[in-house]
Amino acid sequence: MKLQQLLLATAAMIGGALSCTAQTNLISNGTFETWSSGVPTNWNTNISSNLYQNTGLGSGTSAVAQGTADLRQLTSAAAKDFNLSFDFTVNQGAPSAFSQSFIINLYQTTDLVSSGTAWISLRIQTNNASNQPFSLSANTGSGWQSLTGAIFTASVLNSGNTTFSSVSKYQLNIAFDDASNTYSIGYGAAGGSLTTLSSLAYFRNATTHDGLKGLQLYSNDGGFAVDNVVATAIPEPSTYALAASACAMIAVMGRRRRQV
């Protein structure tokens, strides 16, 4: 009886830990509902004058970075296996002789300012023409590896950058597996089915296995809107195995009691 009670308590504890781990967002104010002094609460930036509180892409409001600006935040815990997802737009900027890009930097360090120290670095970019679709690529440490064609349609902001005159909403998911040192990317229209790229191993800097410590969303010349940023830890397989073993033991004990 005592053993069964112990197993029940163990299973409950593991189950609770799995539930909390899976549901806790490691990012604060990922829906950008609260702002202070022109900056979304719990986020940091280099250029607050280029940030705007816009209509939401799924929640009440979103954050818009137009021109050159960034948003960055440390995660509340360093998850080794994680899933990061968010809704976004890439925004049409003024015609430029330079590329316009939205850069997503993930870090294994608390220094979130420099792209050069990023671990996983993705770029959604169009070259030299603001009205052309954007493509997705990943940094390899020595350059950029193309992952998709020009498939992301630019959105157009109204004067003041707080509403859209035309909007194309997308979703991006990044799931990292520490054991295999690979990640997958899912992308597509927000609310629709996603195309998945699996077993990717493109890193700007080598994996240290210290976990995800922060992210930076960066606009270079063009712009972006972002909403519903969610980062969650993925429990390791050994944790699931332990929970399954405890449940199996409980089942065996239950059968033995019925046979007595």
Q: Which domains does the chain have, with CATH numbers?
A: 24-245 (2.60.120.1160)
Q: pTM of the prediction?
A: 0.84
In the sheet that holds 170-177, the strands lie side by side as 51-55, 61-66, 223-233, 82-90, 170-177, 182-189, 195-200
Does residue 257 carry a pLDDT above 70? no
Q: What is the pLDDT of residue 255?
A: 53
Confidence category of residue 170, pLDDT binned at 50, 70, 90: very high
CB 91 within 8 A of CB 111: no
Confidence category of residue 20, pLDDT binned at 50, 70, 90: very low
What CA–CA distances, in Å, run from 205 to 109, 140, 202? 11, 8, 9
CA atoms lying within 13 Å on the CB side of residue 65 = 29
Average pLDDT, whole number, for the chain?
86
Does residue 250 carry a pLDDT above 60? no
